[in-house]
Every structure is written in structure tokens, then in C-alpha cells.
Amino acid sequence: MIAEIVGEFLVLFGTIFYFLSSLGLIRMPDVYNRMQTATKSATLGSLGVIIGVGIWAIGYVGSYAWLPKTLVIAVFLLLTNPISAHALIRAAYKSGIPLWEGSIVDKYGEYLKKEKEASEETKEGEQ
Amino acid sequence: MEEASRISRYLYTVIVLFVIWLFLTSSLDPQELIIGALFSLIVAALTYEVFTEKGLANLHPKRIAYAVAYVPYFLWAMIMANLDVAYRVLHPKRPINPGIVECKTVLRNNVGKLTLANSITLTPGTITLDVKGDRYFIHWIDVKDATVEGASENITKPFEKFLKVIFE
């Protein structure tokens, strides 16, 4: 009984964050800020829904076999989701998508420029 | 950091694989346990070289205690991150102030750096863009301090005190 209520609450909690995540995709101005909402809320939403289903099954199906499996899935999601987000945002930067005009600093751009100049200088020095 | 002996690395891989098998089958039937142990021995023999550098030293009690303490700390930070995102998405004026800042880390170990990058991605308003050596380039949704020291203070410091013990 309690397990059922906790599970239902967790699934509801997760779906709310799914909703916020997709709303963030619409409201944010550029790809970088969209990645922020998409990764964070989607990860926590998935955690809530997946573990919630495992706990719900204890009360509803009466089976404890679901919870360990859902825990494994949740841990794998938690470990892999940020890596995919990192790969996507880095690929976006490398393919030249500009930052939003309201952005304040771009240390990464400065760093890449400096490195490029340094490599050009060494090339000239070699010749 | 020098590598641990091959046997200790192999045993550590076996233990990790076997624990994952236990969770996946979620049964303690002796038949399942034997097959699981066999398969973890085989898979570990094939993969231990890429899996770990320190072997059984990872199972030091102090490291495990810090790792266990890190889980609720991290989950709490993650929930705060999501409430923060919810606030920014739902607020009619969309209060964002983004930028890419640079941070420095004291971690030397690759797995530690990976965990720090993952933790940064999942906590309030930050997402890791690139890592070069000990420099992290981080997209921050609400830049409070654009200098290297200030950003490190705000972003990486809270996690480093745990990760230093767990991975170094």
C-alpha cells in the first residue's frame, strides 16, 4: 500500500520534470541553454519514473524482482546521459553554432583562438 | 599513479561484474550464481585491462564510505538543479545569463575527472563543454563570476572534496 503510493508519487514527479524539460526546449534561446534543460530535467525525470515503477511493482504486482533491475537501468542512465550531453554540446560548438547574443563570456573561444595562433606561430618558426 | 598488480585489477573487475549480474537477475538461485560467476570470470579476463587502473585499492573502506556519502549529496544537488531549471523555464522573464567559463581542478585521475564532469553536467546550471588537462570549459547558465578562481570556487569545489578521497 505504502509502496504503491510512493511509486505513484515518484512517477508523477518524474513526468512533471519530463514536461519541464520539453517546455525548456521551447523557451530557451539557443542550443547550449536548451541542452541545460534537456539533460538535467530529463535525467531526473527518468530516474523518478524508472525507480518509481520498481517501487510501484512491490505494492501492485507484489514482486521484489523489479526494483533491482530498475535500479541498474537508472544507474546506467545516470552515468551515460551526461556523457551524451557533453558530446552533443561539444559537437555543436565545434561545428560553429554561435552563442546566444546575451552571453557574457566565452573562455573556450578565447582558448581555441590562442591555441590556433600558437600552432600557426610554431609552423612559421619551422619554415 | 602506478598501476596495481594484474591479479588485483582482475579480481576487482570480477567483483564489479558479479555485483551487476546479481542486480540484473535479482535472484539468489545457486544455478544463476554459478553461471554469473563463470561469465564474470570470462568477461573480466577479456576486459580488466581497460576497466581499472587501481584494482582492489578501489575497495578501501574509506573510499567506499565517501562514495556512499556522495550519493545522497549528489542526488540532493541534482534535485536542486532541477528546481533551478524549473524556475528559469517557468519564470515569465526567463532569467538567464549564460556564458562559457573556465575552471581548474585538483584531480589527476581520469576516472575522477570523468565523474567530476558528469557531476557538473547534472548540477545547477552548468554543463561541461570540454576538458583539457586540468582545465574544464563549462557552459554556465547564470554567470556570477567569470574569473577562473571564482568559477572553480562555485562549480568544482563542492564535489572535489568527495572525489579527491574516492579516486585519488
Give the end-to-end CA distance of chain A in Å, rounded to a whole number.
Answer: 78
Distance CA B101, CA B118 (A): 17
Least confident of A71-85, B9-23, B145-159: B145-159
In the three-class reduction of DSSP (H, G, I as helix; E, B as strand; rest coil), residue B86 is classed as: helix
Q: Concatenated DSSP letters for B12-32?
A: HHHHHHHHHHHHHH----HHH
Give the integer Cα–Cα distance in Å for A33 and A82: 15
Contact A108 B102 (CB under 8 A): yes
Average pLDDT, chain A: 82
Q: Which of B26, B79, B125 faces A36 most closely, judged by CB atoms?
A: B125
**Strand order from edge to edge, sheet including B99-104:** B99-104, B135-140, B126-132
Chain B residues near residue A72 by CB distance under 8 angstroms: 20, 23-24
Backbone angles phi, psi at A98, to 5 degrees: -75, 155
pLDDT at A39: 83
The three cell numbers locating residue B15: 567483483
Look at A40 and B96 and tell me if their CB atoms are within 8 Å.
no
For B110-137, what is each residue's pLDDT tens digit? 788 888 888 888 877 788 888 887 778 8
Q: What ipTM does the predicted assembly reach?
A: 0.79
Q: Is the separation of the CB atoms in A44 and B109 below 8 Å?
A: no
DSSP state of B142: B
Residue A117 pLDDT greater than 60, yes or no? yes
Which helix H or strand E contains B43, and what residues bound it? helix B30-51
Q: How much is the pLDDT for B149?
A: 66
Report pTM.
0.80
Give the distance from residue A34's alpha carbon to the nearest chain B alpha carbon, in angstroms: 10
Residue A105 at interface with chain B, using a CB cutoff of 8 Å: yes
Contact A56, A7 (CB under 8 A): yes
Banded pLDDT at B1 (limits 50, 70, 90): very low
Q: What digits encode the pLDDT tens for the residues A35-94? A: 888 888 888 888 889 989 988 888 888 778 888 888 889 888 888 888 888 888 888 888
Q: Where are the domains of chain A?
A: 1-126
Query: Smallest Cα–Cα separation from B22: which of B4, B40, B49?
Result: B40
Mean pLDDT over the full length of chain B: 79
Torsion of CA A27, A28, A29, A30, to 10 degrees: -140
